[in-house]
Chain A
Amino acid sequence: MPAGLNINFYAVMPEILVTALALIVLVLDLFIRKNKAALGWVSVIGLICILPFAAYTNEPYPVFGGTIIADSFSAFFNVIFIIAAIFTILISMDYLRKIGVDRGEYYHIILFATVGMMVMGAANDLINVYVGLELMALSFYILVAYRVKSSRSVEGALKYFVLGALSSGILLYGMSFAYGAAGSTNFMEIAGELGKGDNTYLTLGIILMAVGFGFKIAAVPFHMWSPDVYEGAPTPVTALLSVGSKAAAFAAFLRVFTAAFPAFQADWSSMLWIISAATMIFGAVVAISQRNIVRMLAYSSIAHAGIIMIGLIVFNDTGLAGVAYYLLVYAFMNMGAFTIVALFRNKGRFENIDEYKGLSTTRPLLAFLMALFLLSLAGIPPTGGFAAKFFILSAAIDAKYYWLASIGVVSTAISLFFYAKVIFYMYMKEPDPGAEIAPASGVIYNIVLFCTAVGTVFLGVYPAPFIDMAVKAVRPLLM
């Protein structure tokens, strides 16, 4: 259909710019021999320059033959991805030196992963969703295996790779059913073709696609990979995996299910209801027994995925806006928590929660910030986590999903227990006399911690403008 091809480079400018930046870093890597952190700085400065383009690109009609759409929804998510990538690169520079793999490829692989996420967020066609997802996943397989000499890193990468390939296969199988049923991969054409609902093939496709996305967002029962991968990966990669990859998968999840299958809403929301409830309860309960801080955060991130899914299930403008807002807040608070974990974790030390004992006397500021991030993750006012949870749960109550909202509240209450445990160790216990003192944060860490802490608090104290943005962002989905 060359008539409606509609090539518009402005609409995909953020993707083009990030790709160009990645290629520049790729070439610079050949010339900068000694100081690889310089590549990190180039990437960060480039991303900061691209951020306004990503935020203001708004061409609310499909371009490139209808395969991609740069509307306010993709712009909102592009901002989340770029912010997450900036923080990740900043905390990586020191971390890579610490673990002794200070190599240049790391930075452009992160940038390529960001491109994959952006393609997923802007996709208006099943093929684009798949290609973007594969680009992101392939980059993450490499990043997770980056500490090749560590057996846990390799184990995590292998698990992620095998299960990721399997889930991609399932997703693709579902997409092929949807294509078979609708005769098109374009979301609008699928929705137009199947407006009447009731099509067994498409139901099968929807189930399989939910499995594929469920894997990427680590929803129960497709979460098996996440604790091992989170633990094995370099900690900054874990942070990006839990924030960026999850946000990208949710963006695609939302777009596919609302734009292509709105006629099947009753079917898929009753299926996702069960997955969401199981995810919230399982994630929160299993996190209690974790001793390792990264595994604890991994299970907590599973529980968060369950709560975010509520927004999709209720399928109204508050619910969908809640998903977008939650993911924005999550980017700040989870990034912050992982920044502190990345700072402390070194050569097998500061792996377990009890090693955070007495942190408030040795590193009072860091202990305070960690407590702030954990309280926000738990959803305590006045932090952003509270506003986000409140937003989604009130949407569920508005839509009369009382049981789901109750399960969400119970899950939040359970999760408070394990977040408070870390705070308890930091504030109520004395440090072991012989224990090594936690490392101090350098300038870069301070910048990241400052930004994430300000973001976390600001989104909780004055959420109105950001909620407006989120509401505006999801408007294209409900048309």
Chain B
Amino acid sequence: MEQFFFYMFAIAAVVSAVLVISVRNPVHSAFYLIVCFLQVAAIYILLRSPFLAAVQLFIYVGAIMVLFLFAVLVLDIGREQFRERFHGQTVPALAAIAGLFVVMGILVVSGKITAPLGPFDEPALMKNTEVIGKSLYTSYIFPFEIVSILLLIALIGAVVLVMSGQGKENKG
């Protein structure tokens, strides 16, 4: 049963991801991206990570997609500019994808790639959020602190790139 749901969500995610890049209208492709993110959130729940699923919904579907739609709105990307941008590379790209599928298929059929569901203990799963919080503040405290610097530099970067376009005029 679980496998059935997994395949359902996985196929929906892949199909919507393909639609994101194949539809002409940028607003439509943003909506397909939401669909794709929702499927991924559902897969997180199947993997017993409700916290990740919730974060996926809040951050990607909520915040990031709204920003995407705002950007589309502000930039007013017309249909004209959203034409084919493949520069005649469709055939090599399709060949590469087909090759990848063949390799993956061989590995799956030959039984080299199998994904058994690892052992997990029920209580840890029940307290998913607590477990994540605990490991973030104990074992992974150092990368956690570095991420705070990362966010600071992202903030500074956004300001630098926007401001330096008009720096001279402001200072006179």
- Interface residue ranges, A against B (CB under 8 Å): 1-2, 5, 7, 12, 19, 26, 64-68, 100-101, 103, 105, 108-109, 112, 115-116, 119, 125, 127-128, 131-132, 134-135, 138-139, 141-142, 145-146, 148-149, 180, 183, 200-201
Contact = CB atoms under 8 A, between A and B. Distances in A.
Contact of B142 (A68, A116, A200): A68
Given A19-B149, A135-B149, A109 B140 contact: no
Contacts of B156: 26, 105, 108-109, 142
A139 to B, nearest CB: 6
B121 to A, nearest CB: 14
A1 B118 CA distance: 20
Contacts of B153: 109, 112, 135, 138-139, 142
A187 B115 CA distance: 22
Contact of B138 (A1, A128, A141, A146): A1
A1 B135 CA distance: 8
Given A1-B138, A138-B154, A115 B149 contact: yes
B157 A138 contact: yes
Interface string B142-153: 110011011011
Contacts of B115: 180
Nearest to B153: A112
- Which of B115, B143, B152 has most chain A Cβ within 10 Å? B143
B141 interface: yes
The 10 tightest CB contacts between A and B, nearest first, are A65-B139, A142-B157, A64-B142, A200-B112, A131-B143, A148-B164, A131-B146, A127-B143, A135-B150, A105-B160
B59 interface: no
B164 A12 contact: no
Nearest to A3: B138
B160 A66 contact: no
Given A109-B157, A119-B146, A183-B118, A101 B141 contact: no
Nearest to A5: B138
B146 A148 contact: no
Contacts of A116: 146
Contacts, number: 86
- Which of A5, A108, A138, A183 has most chain B Cβ within 10 Å? A138
A276 B20 CA distance: 37
B146 A128 contact: yes
A131 B151 CA distance: 11
A127 B140 contact: yes
B165 interface: yes
A200 B103 CA distance: 13
A343 to B, nearest CB: 23
Interface of B: 107, 112-113, 115, 118, 138-143, 146-147, 149-150, 152-154, 156-157, 159-161, 164-165, 167-168
Grouping DSSP codes into helix (H, G, I), strand (E, B) and loop, the B interface class, with mixed when no group exceeds half, is helix
Contacts of A128: 142-143, 146
Contacts of B118: 183
Contacts of A145: 161
Given A2-B138, A145-B161, 19 more contacts: A64-B142, A67-B142, A101-B167, A103-B167, A109-B157, A112-B153, A115-B146, A119-B146, A128-B143, A131-B146, A135-B150, A139-B153, A141-B157, A142-B157, A148-B161, A148-B165, A149-B165, A180-B115, A200-B113
Contacts of B113: 200-201
Nearest to B158: A142
Nearest to B134: A2
Contact of A103 (B147, B154, B164): B164
Nearest to B166: A148
Contacts of B140: 65, 67, 127
A135 B146 contact: yes
Contacts of A141: 157
Contacts of A12: 142
24 contacts: A2-B139, A7-B141, A26-B156, A64-B141, A64-B142, A65-B141, A67-B140, A67-B142, A68-B142, A100-B168, A103-B160, A103-B164, A109-B157, A109-B160, A115-B146, A116-B146, A128-B142, A128-B143, A131-B147, A132-B146, A135-B149, A135-B150, A183-B118, A200-B112
